[in-house]
Amino acid sequence: MISTCPKLGHLMGDAAAVQTPILKFRRLIIVFFQLFLLALTYYFSFLLRFDFNLHEPFTSVFLRTLPVIVSVKILVFSYFRLFRGWWRYVGMSDLLDIIKASAVSAVLAFVGVYLTHGMAWFPRSVCVIDLTMTICVIGGIRFAVRAYTESARIHLTHANTLIIGAGSAGSAIARELKSNEKLKYNLVGFIDDDPSKQGMKLQGFKVLGATDQLPRIIEENEVAHILIAIQYATGKQIQRIVDKCRACKVDFKTLPSYGDIINGYVSVGLMRNVKVEDLLRRAPLRLDFGRIQEKLQRKVVLITGAGGSIGSELARQVAKFKPARLLLFDQSENDLHKIDIELAESFPRLDYVAVVGDILDVERVRQVMAQHRPHFVFHAAAYKHVPMMEKNCFQAVTNNIIGTYNVAHQAREFDVRDFVMISSDKAVNPSNIMGVTKRVAELLILGLQHQKTHFVAVRFGNVLGSKGSVLPLFEEQIAQRKPVTVTHPEARRYFMTIPEAVQLVLQAATMGKGGEIFVLDMGEPIKIVDVAHDLIRLSGLEPERDIPIVYTGLRPGEKLFEELKLDEEGIKPTAHEKIRVLDGGRVNHRQVELWIKELAARANAKDVYGLVTKLREIVPEYTPSPEILALTEESRYERLTLSLSAAGSSPMALSRKASS
């Protein structure tokens, strides 16, 4: 019922504060008014039945049965709470209540008349006519009040607004704009490219034309705001609309993509400024929600790195499928706290546990596995920043390789059914420490294959908006009116939005039988400088004129472009057009154990030369960056120095040996 909504309570509170006589006796007035309407509809039912020539004995029948009819209707309408609520906010749920109340009261009134007066002279068709008129009059008067209230709203301070998209999302936005007078938008119509919708009306507003006609329609209607309500719009569509809006100098906002809206509910409150990721949207994903739900529903799911960009989005999307329990594992208490609060608000019935822990702490990982016995593990915890890892190679190896082994090994020990590792396109022909550690991690989980645990990896490129990515950096530079720094004018990257990447990860997880590396379709690589240009323009500025672009050169370990597969990897299609699968290689369990021991020993000894040598042995296609090679030579010289010093060689011999 309308009377239960928070907005109504607020309005009723305001009304009570005014204390006008009408509002003070509002309910009593409503009861007497509807009592009059019910009596009037009953009278007109008799008039219609007898062609407006009511005569005896039916006049007496009407007068004798009127108290019974009205009394029954008053009681039934009161039971359905139809004497409460504000008519200006009436909706379909109220109309359904009116229909139910009218039908029930018609049956009870018929029985009441039969029991009190018999049916000898009572015209039975009056019951049907009265039922129809009651619904029409009681419902009609409410909707008339709502229509009058909406049409009488003062628009002098409201800006003329167009909605682009005359679909379900656009209809929901229009409905909210009509009913909520606090929203400062004066809707003048819709824009839609569908020829079949041209000229039609939606929520009382006309579809004025297609997006090609946008400049003319904006000028004719003095439009100041554009609301883009196309949840399935592609990036090219959004780009075309944005260009027209900018050319016409009007404000524009958009709804997030469908995958970004957690509960599927569309509201004006979700409208936000257009972001770069909106311009890179691809066609909507086709997902087999049934298979994903079968995998995750009523299962215990563990997510490592749950506070990170990918991990937190995994948590949001897994929560939709109602797992038995969701375990959020992360070493950052602040990041974990944020996703903890968000899940509590968005999924109040979700059973989840936030676990502060480090994947390098084997005992902590074992304790969580033993206590909760997860069925599914998404391993998203990793160090990912390429230049940072070039300077901290031991930590990269320890976290990305040893940490992955710890989680994967414990998953195998506790019979976790499915283990999915988030990998990277930088694992292909790696030119940096981060990439080679992810490639080794891929190989080691493939070597841990077990009949009870299926290990797979999902490989994809950059995700827009992730922590430490170029997007937040560009946004900060633009906000401070600083030059935007781009590494190289030809640098290209595969980009994907975080929700899109996670949706495909979930889909790939349903396909794995163990031993596969899944590769997501990242579309076409995009120049980083183009992303910078788009972001500057979306901020209302012009590249080079307002914000200069400065090229800083490729950072340690970076490539001009990334790859998604090795030359020798045989890539094959899957049932999903956006997911490919490839042969990641075959490694036995014994080999994995030896790798872990040797890499751990070299990392603990801080032996760069030995570490890089071992990594190149495991991943022959790894090409160390000049910065790592320099560290390797220093480490090799130090190792040689210590070796010769221990042997008692002279400084001259030491110098000759080192130079050789």
Which residues are annotated as catalytic?
426
Are 498 and 439 in contact, with CB atoms under 8 Å apart?
A: no
Closest CA to 336 of 303, 374, 298: 303
Q: What angle do CA 380, 385, 387 make, to 5 degrees?
A: 160
Q: Which two tokens stand for residue 117?
A: 């007066």
Owner of token pair 């300077």: 391
From CA 521, how far away is CA 502, in angstroms rounded?
Answer: 13
Exposed/middle/buried for residue 31 (C-beta within 10 Å: 0-12, 13-18, 19+): middle
Helix axes 433-447, 589-604, angle to 10 degrees: 150
With both helix axes pointing from N to C terminus, report the angle between 289-296 and 498-509 in degrees, rounded to the nearest 10. Answer: 70
Phi, psi dihedral angles at 371 (to 5 degrees): -75, -40
The total of other beta-carbon atoms located within 10 Å of residue 293's CB is 15
Whole-angstrom Cα distance, residue 411 to residue 454?
10
- Rounded Cα gap, residues 595 and 331, in angstroms: 25
**Exposed, middle or buried: residue 660 (CB in 10 Å: 0-12, 13-18, 19+)?**
exposed
Count of Cβ atoms closer than 10 Å to residue 522 Cβ: 24
> What residues contact residue 88 under an 8 Å CB cut-off, 6+ apart?
145, 146, 149, 150
Q: N- to C-terminal Cα distance for the chain? A: 88
Place of tokens 């090409």: 623
Q: Per residue, what are the HEC states of 287-325? A: CCHHHHHHHHCCCEEEEECCCCHHHHHHHHHHHHCCCCE
CB-side exposure of 8: number of CA atoms within 13 Å? Answer: 12
User: Amino acid identity of 546?
Assistant: D
Closest CA to 210 of 247, 179, 244: 244
Query: CB-based burial of residue 21 (10 Å sphere; 0-12 exposed, 13-18 middle, 19+ buried)?
Result: exposed
Give the helix/strand (H/E) hosting 389: helix 386-391
Q: Which letter does DSSP use for residue 82 in this model?
A: T
Beta carbons within 8 Å of 616's beta carbon, 6+ residues apart = 622, 624
Q: Give the residue ranges of DSSP H helices in 580-619.
A: 589-604, 608-618
What is the identity of the amino acid at 643?
Answer: S
